[in-house]
Chains A and B, each alone.
Chain A
Amino acid sequence: MKSPRKAILGATTGLATLLSAQTLSAVEIEYWQYIFDTRVQAMDILIERFEEENPGITVNHSTFPLADYRTRLAAAIPAGQGPDVMQLFYGWLDSYVDEGLIQPLPADTFDPDMIGEEFFPMVGAMMRDGAYMALPTAVRSLALFYNTRLMEAAGLDSPPETLEEMIEMAREMTIRDGAGNFSQVGITSGMTAQDHHWFREVLTRQHGAEPYLDDYRTVNYATPEGIAAFEFYTGMETEELVTQSGFMDEPQAAFRAGRAGMHIDGSFRIGALEGTRGLEWGVAPLPLSADGVAANYGSYWVNAITQRAQDERKEAAVKFMEFIVSEEAMQLWLDVVGELPARPSVALTEDNLANPVYGPFIEGLEGAHTTLFVDETAQRQVLVDAVQRVLLQGMSPAESLTMAQEAEQAIIDRAQGN
């Protein structure tokens, strides 16, 4: 029988060791992302769970408006003041890697082969020299939104499965007055929105083109096949008269206002459309080509560990990274934010696939390509201008797309040279 004294002594020593162990391993790390309500909420929940599981680690969550997020990072990281783990757009990765601001994910925790198997193939874009530099929690893809009321009014009962059907149905849903002015478009269009992704990665491939070669270093869409894809796109406005670029200012505005039958957009649009009064909509996978080719464009924000995280901070940062790209985190992200899980094991569950809203987007993930942009805004502008030359200046699609290819190649070459 132990004396009570001894027991108390034992308990105190035990507690003391525990406490000192606690203080010894207490690490604080910084996590940064941009402000988007549901993303911030989801991350707060994840951090809470993570801290429960790892009592020695505190994660400070800082958020900034998207408009100056990039400038903040650029000012803070080189000054050694920034985050240990941060979120960045996949397209920014190159410049961060080139400047040595982020470190590769350690291969013992993030085995490249394991990631290759467990994540969607588009995540491969985050690999540099055999190591992953960053990983997403969630990914985005494109799908076709359709207005159920306008479909019914035009006597259509199910969304289009092929591009040809899409044009047919768009024609049914287009309304123009005597002077030819649109009061309702069959399908929205606008390279300024998501159409440049749809054209770049989907339409070109569906027409048999390979839009980029050499790991996105060579632009290759101005081939006869690519030009056919571009003629299809501009033809919706010039030949088929089922759309008008810039109708009601922005494609998503036209769809939201119930003035457009169909609209191609990303999964991030779901939140904005939900709860729009008087709008009834559905989602379908992107239409296939005549010979059944499917393609999609995937994009994502990734999490990366910066150079600032060293020693015990690095250990903590790795643990935190592991947690926020886990299956558990991904399902939570889908439930709270509505962004699609980056692991097929979470995304392709029966429940998720059967979801009428997320299902079509998730279906698109497997065949999704991720464009390795060097300057997304500038590269988008190239395609915006290509369409404008056809619509406003009457240039032939072939000539315009050839000019676009040269312009985009110049942007890529300049970025490579730097």
Chain B
Amino acid sequence: MLKRELKINLKSLIIWTGILVLMFALIFAIYPSLINEETKYMITKMMDTMPDDILATFNMDIVGIETAYGWFKTEGYTFLTLIGGLYAAIVGATILVKEENDKTIEFLISKPISRESIVTSKILCGMINILILSGLVTIVNFICLRNIEDFELKEFLIISLLPMLLYFMLFFITLFLSTFFKKTRSSMSLGIAIVFISYLMQIIGGMGEKVEFIKNISLFEFVSSRYVILNNTVDTKYLIAGAVIILLTILGTYKRYHDKEFL
């Protein structure tokens, strides 16, 4: 079953990985030619006009974007988490409920395979796909950036691979929530909404101290690159909290799916 799952999910994996890889490769290819003394001056001038809170949201207060690697740690990281997060949320929201949406669940349930094994196959497929996406994007980024300039490998790896925590959280949360639906359309809409709302919460939460609490519950804050850039390590408190969320949603998914009715 896992083999077939990987096969049918291959197309979307190629598309989403392709989007990320092409985007980064293209930007890294043209970035050095964009940066000269004149544009550097313009960037600095533009950034002087921006409020500190906004700059901090994109880490531009601690990292300059006059290098390609600097851009990757700031704006690039936003794309990496947002696009990858969307992919993970969509896979999670649809991979399991698709069988009910297409009514193929009647076929599957009649075969000698338990509901738990069905869930396990779907989870493994989703995780493998997320690992492939992250892995390929990291490798391509590494090759591109190495051709442009020197950068610190440890920080690069943490920043490239930390989004996987967000991807897995989104995948398992949307997978769990999908057990409350029968149609992929509804579960997918919810999945996409979670990504954008969570992202907005991080942005809005960064606007001032009064709203900071909003930021702290955003899933994107779990993988904030700011902590990595400042400390050159991951924030273990968020790592543990993320692992707990993942574990709970996995257990919830198995339980809900075991009891679910396929009308």
Judge: A and B partners, yes or no.
no
Report A's interface with B, CB cutoff 8 A. Answer: none
Report B's interface with A, CB cutoff 8 A. Answer: none
